[in-house]
Amino acid sequence: MSRVDAALKASGHSRYVADFAVPNMAHAAVVRSAMAHARIVSIDTRAALNCPGVIAAFTAADVSATPYGRALIDTPLLARDKVRFVGERVAAVVATTRQEAEYAAAMIEVDYEPLDAVFSLSEALADGAPAVHEQPWAYMGAAAKEGDPINLIHRGTHGSKEEVDAALANAAFVVDHHYSTQGVHQGYLEPQACIADYVSDDEVRIWLTTKAPYRVREMVGKCLDIDPKKIELAPITLGGDFGGKGSPQDAPLCTELSRKTGRPVKMTLRYNEDLTATNPRHPAEIDVRIGADKEGRIVAASMVASLNAGAYGAFTPSVPAPHGAVEIPSYRVPLYYSEANRVYTNTVPRGNMRAPGAPQGTFALESAMDELALAIGIEPAELRRRNLLVTGEADASHVHWIEHRGLETLEAALAAVVPIDPPKGWLYGRGIAIYSRPTTSMASTSLRLTPIDDGCLRVETPLVETGTGSHTALRQMLSNQLGFAPQKIEIVGVSTNDLPRDAGAGASRVTAGLAAVVDVAAKAWMNRSRDEAIVVEINEDSGIDVGSYTVQVAQVAIDPSTGQMKLLELLNAVDIAAIINPLAFQMQIDGGATMGVGFATLEDLDEADGQVWAANMGEYKLPSARDVPTYKTVKVPGAIGLGTANVKNIGESTTPPVAAAIANAVFDATKCRIRDLPITAEKIYQALKGQQ
């Protein structure tokens, strides 16, 4: 049976936030900063107030002064005293229609006094650098302390640098290279949108393009001093997320505008606002050092990453464990040092995007592994074979996963590769890369099961269907355990008022979390009194560290006269437990890989002087049906999963290794090593020219 939402979506009858209107609704538009760093001298709203349809105009002085954020509470509703990036919200207009709001917003005059700005990591960390925030340590949730470099948000380290330095000094083979990655956007095709209806402090209703409604409720409540339980996030269908819709977006602002105007307020971004002023992936600068003994076994490794966090740090948690950008999850590393720095700059604030940190870190690490293999004089696959973790060993961060299936996944991948002939006169190369990722075993969600007529079951869930097929998987797992045929089960998304909890979609945990709550629901269902509805919830850690390996093999052809690269095939070997919905599972593999292909070869926000120059989708290139390679999938079954359903992660597994697999294939073809993304024809051409 097909997806629960297939017919509605394919016929255009599925409704998204932008499709909703509520009675008496007004529309908001914002004025965005044209300056990267400037003092706001004055804001003149008089002309805007005289425009047709305008209800009110707002500046920072008119709205709550409490900032908002996830862990670090540093983001204002509207820029106060100064602006910190091009695109920051400076003022807002509420009008009868969207067009009137946008027209009036353009009439607001802002007078700025420019300040020295910092754009790059080196500028931001230089002695005497201009401060993006004067007192970053003073924000609630700040990790920075007074006396730290002024623009440092957070520095997380793991292991002993001295021990690693000493081991590397004595290693038979050492590589030491610098890699960099560009700014890229989540690229969901549904612009962020919000409708907020503030009736009173006891009644607030929000429709938001969010995957994490309970978290948004908390953040809006704290910012506006409203009891979060009085804020209802309505159930919605989400038009893509990929990490870009976990932040509160414009819900705090729209709620405040509704409170001030007494009307429901809707704001839908234009896509150029999504590209330039939301929370794309952090650009990163990463130094990798790996040392090996004479037999090619790793003796020590160091990964040091600096992540450009942009003007605000509100949208990512400050993780205590090694950041995704510096993790070494797959290999035996006796001595490991990592350092991840998140740094304020006068650029667009960054947030989470599919496997946060891992696409940057895996590009660096897996490129460096190939460079190490070259230094030792062994095949890249052989170096990995000698160093992949096996079951029973702890990883570099001392985590004991329940099993390691990297070796069999690697062998399965290599066995399945069929070399493809390049076009005549083109160079051919093949590259591999490996990534492994834990399934977050923290399950936090709830369900209501109500028997209805004709032996049917109505199942309410607060989990937002982000597009992954989660509601379909829920129906399938309930069908398997309760004995209802899938067509007898109706899955209904409900609001935050209807059920107690949901952690939001993310961290590759959705199916595992659903599996856990379905186990609880199945028990409660067997024990229920006749014909009554049951509500179940779960909020616990399974305590088992289950992970999944992905081994990718990229085959490329390169035209030596132009540098043009054609990705002939991308093979994904994945280590799997049970699969609930085969097509949805496959789309996570292919879709994740496609996002990796975009990151590796096409996508670039093209940032310079604090501006995002790729400010529309004509400039910011997402892969099209023509740009993707042939995908080949090798499933390596038999892994241990979570819950009765025996499931583990897939959604964030195939994106991170793509860039390194391609870079390694490009090297195999050309003997040119590209250490900065994206890998373009121009870079390959220049590198080939440099060889001559």
Residues within the interface to another protein (CB under 8 A) = 2-3, 5-16, 18-19, 99, 186-191, 237-242, 270-272, 466-469, 583-584, 586-587, 589-595, 616-618, 622, 624-628, 631
Shortest CB 67 distance to another protein, Å = 30
Q: Which is nearer to another protein, 241 or 537 (CB)?
A: 241
User: Judged by CB, which is closer to another protein: 242, or 685?
Assistant: 242
Minimum distance of another protein from residue 138's CB (angstroms): 38
Query: CB of residue 104 vs another protein: minimum separation in angstroms?
Result: 16
Distances (CA, A) of 519 to 6, 391, 511, 645: 26, 27, 12, 8
Q: Nearest distance from residue 601's CB to another protein, in Å?
A: 15
Distance in Å, CB of 619 to another protein, minimum = 9
Q: Cβ of residue 200: shortest distance to another protein, in angstroms?
A: 30
Q: Give the tokens for residue 615.
A: 């400010």
Contact 192, 209 (CB under 8 A): yes
**CB nearer to another protein: pick between 204 and 574:** 574
Nearer to another protein, 147 or 618 (CB): 618
Closest CA to 6 of 517, 494, 583, 482: 583
Residue 565 to residue 556: CA distance in whole angstroms: 7
Helix (H) or strand (E) holding 540: strand 534-541
Measured CA to CA, the distance from residue 15 to residue 36 in angstroms comes to 37
Q: Which tokens in the block code for residue 591? A: 């879709």
Nearer to another protein, 29 or 340 (CB): 29
Rank residues 18 and 110 by Cβ distance to another protein and give the closer one: 18
Return the closest-CA partner of residue 533 out of 562, 492, 563: 492
Using DSSP bridges, classify how beta strands 152-158 and 54-58 pair: parallel, antiparallel or unpaired.
unpaired
Which residue type is seen at 275? L
> For residues 78 and 90, what is the distance between their CA atoms, to the nearest angstrom?
5
Q: Do the beta carbons of residue 550 and residue 657 sit within 8 Å?
A: yes
Between 74 and 241, whose beta carbon lies closer to another protein?
241
Question: Minimum distance between the CB of residue 14 and another protein, rounded to whole angstroms?
Answer: 5
The region, left, alpha or beta by phi > 0 then psi within -120 to 50, assigned to residue 499 is beta
229: helix, coil or strand? helix
- The total number of residues shown for the chain amounts to 692
Residue pointed to by tokens 């066995």: 415
- For another protein, the closer of residues 471 and 675 by Cβ is 471
CA distances from 138 to 40, 74, 133, 150, 597 (A): 22, 9, 10, 12, 40
What's the DSSP call for residue 488?
A: G
DSSP E strands in 329-488: the ranges are 335-344, 427-439, 442-452, 456-461
Complex with another protein: residue 12 or 455, whichever CB lies closer: 12
| 154 strand-pairing partners | 342
Tell me the closest approach of the beta carbon of residue 684 to another protein, in angstroms: 23
Q: How many CB atoms lie within 10 A of CB 374?
A: 17
For the beta carbon of residue 218, count every other beta carbon within 10 angstroms. Answer: 16
Q: How far is the CB of 188 from another protein (least distance, A)?
A: 6
Identify which of residues 73 and 584 has a Cβ nearer to another protein in the complex. Answer: 584
- Which residue matches tokens 């009173």? 200
Q: What is the smallest separation between the CB atom of 282 and another protein, expressed in angstroms? A: 19
Give me the phi and psi of 497, to 5 degrees please.
-80, -20
Taking the complex as a whole, the smallest distance from the CB of residue 273 to another protein amounts, in Å, to 10
Measured distance CA(575)–CA(648) in Å, rounded:
9
Q: Of the two residues 346 and 552, which places its CB atom closer to another protein in the complex?
A: 552
User: Closest approach of Cβ 203 to another protein, in Å?
Assistant: 27
| 524 vs 617, beta carbon nearer another protein | 617
The neighbouring-strand residues paired with 572 are 552, 633
